[in-house]
Structure 1
Amino acid sequence: MEGDTYVDMRDSCLPWYRQPRRLLALICAIVGGFLIAFGPELRAVVSSPEAPLLEESTLSLPTPTVALMVVYVSGAVAAPDVYRLPFNARVIDALQAAGGLIAEADISGLNLAAPVRDGDHIRVPFVGETVLSLPANDQSGAGLLNLNQASAADLEELPGIGAALAARIIERRNTKGPYQSIDELREVRGIGEKLFAQIAPLVTVGP
């Protein structure tokens, strides 16, 4: 007892920060108060799920642009019209784009595997219709006027084309080189959209 009394008296004579029991009690009080004040927030932080990662579906790569050409499909097809096709398309692809053949179609003179060129006019004849025979290497431009071979007289046979416009078409061909697409006719002065729509189904481009 005397030893304990001596220790207590000795401790009471020391500064508070050198008294182990009081220092320990103070530390426990501080920690306890901290837990009481901030305990809920700490538990919420610990228990909260991680932020969801960015879903892969939100990452989209740009779609590559595919070059297309314009062809006109008419005759014995379900939906005659102007269509855009990839540059490696064949005649069969153009016919499928036009909704396929109708019952009255006669494809005996068409090479369905022939490549299609920009500006081509593919006409499917009806059964019993008389058509021009085609060269083996050209099954898609029957009866069409080749802009790169036509003379002024040939061009004047087109609707709305007189001597002056025929001369301009040939002049454009001589100055800028062969036509690569019938759309280039729009570059000729005097050929507007209305006239172009009239003659586009009647012409083609070639070597």
Structure 2
Amino acid sequence: MDSLEAQHRKIIIILVIVILAGGVYWMLKHFHPSLFLGEPDFVVETEIAPPPPTPPPPTAKSEVAVHVTGAVKSPGVYYLSAGARVHEAIEKAGGRTDLADIHSLNLAAKIRDGQQIDVPMIRQIPDVKPAAPSSSAAQEYTIPTSPGSSVTPQPSMRQSAPSDGARININTATLQELQTLRGIGPAMARRIIEYRQTAGGFSTVDDLTNVKGIGEKTLAKIRDKITAY
């Protein structure tokens, strides 16, 4: 009897252990703390930094400053809208004077900030009157052909051409004036004027070599005939 009871106890203990083990296994498999605590599981969130602001694109200048000089009614510095033309700058300066030579300017060219627009004047050539004969001038006489005839002595009308030592200002010279220089034809004269308008003028006569087609040799031929101011 004792042995039978001992076997029964062993069987009961084994069953209890099996039941407990099964219960623990089931709880571990199906247990969720949120079902009992009423709180959501922890979720790790990573903050994403916003992208740096994009700088605005640089805005173009809305106006430019130009210095209008020469044959205009009110020379000075004027402000015009970007993209304005040369003729607008001249009108801003009160318009051209009666002595202005606008044929050497490109009135439709766009102006740029800081540009100097110099309106040249018409070069007036003074009238050259014949010089009065001096007391020491040689007199021409006609030899009488018959007795009693006389001829009034006439002074010689020969006189030397006046010398012109004035230099041509390459910053204001017209197309025709530039062509009087040695080696400067119509095409080269136009290039000089175009460069003058684009670059805002020549600082020195050496800047003339910046014009396409003019080298040191050409400059040497005309250096003593030109000036820049």
Please state which band the TM-score falls in when normalised by the shorter chain: 0.3 to 0.5
Greater relative contact order structure (CA < 8 Å, 6+ sep):
1
**Greater share of helix:** 1
**Scaled by the length of structure 1, what TM-score is found?**
0.35
* Larger of the two Rg values belongs to structure: 2
